[in-house]
Amino acid sequence: MTKPNKAPLKATPRFASEKAERAYWESHDSTDHLDWSQAQKVSLPNLKPTTKTISLRLPQHLLDSIKSAANSRDVPYQSLIKVWLQEKLHNH
């Protein structure tokens, strides 16, 4: 996005900490400092999404069935659960 008034871009300040930088960008418009029309897409192929550990109570028979299905596919059962959940979300 180019600034409509074509004002010169401001220099990006130096920050003493990540906390100070976060506070600054929460209250300032980045288009005062960057010409987003010049931005380029970047690919980060080795970036892994963060994960969160959860506790899930399942009936034993359901867990046994999931483990059996995972075993027949030669994958860990937790990985299979994640795949199934992702598929369900995309098909919903």
For residue 68, is it within any domain? yes
For residue 44, is it within any domain? no
Cβ atoms of 80 and 66 closer than 8 Å? yes
pLDDT, tens digit, 9 for 90 and up, residues 54-88: 999 999 999 999 999 999 999 999 999 999 999 99
Average pLDDT over residues 47-56: 90
Q: How many domains does the chain have?
A: 2
Q: Supply 92's token pair.
A: 């919903």
Does one domain contain both 35 and 1? yes
Cβ within 8 Å of residue 32, ≥6 positions away: 3, 9, 10
For residue 48, is it within any domain? no
For residue 16, is it within any domain? yes
For residue 49, is it within any domain? no
**pTM higher than the cut 0.85:** no
Domain hosting residue 82, numbered range: 60-91
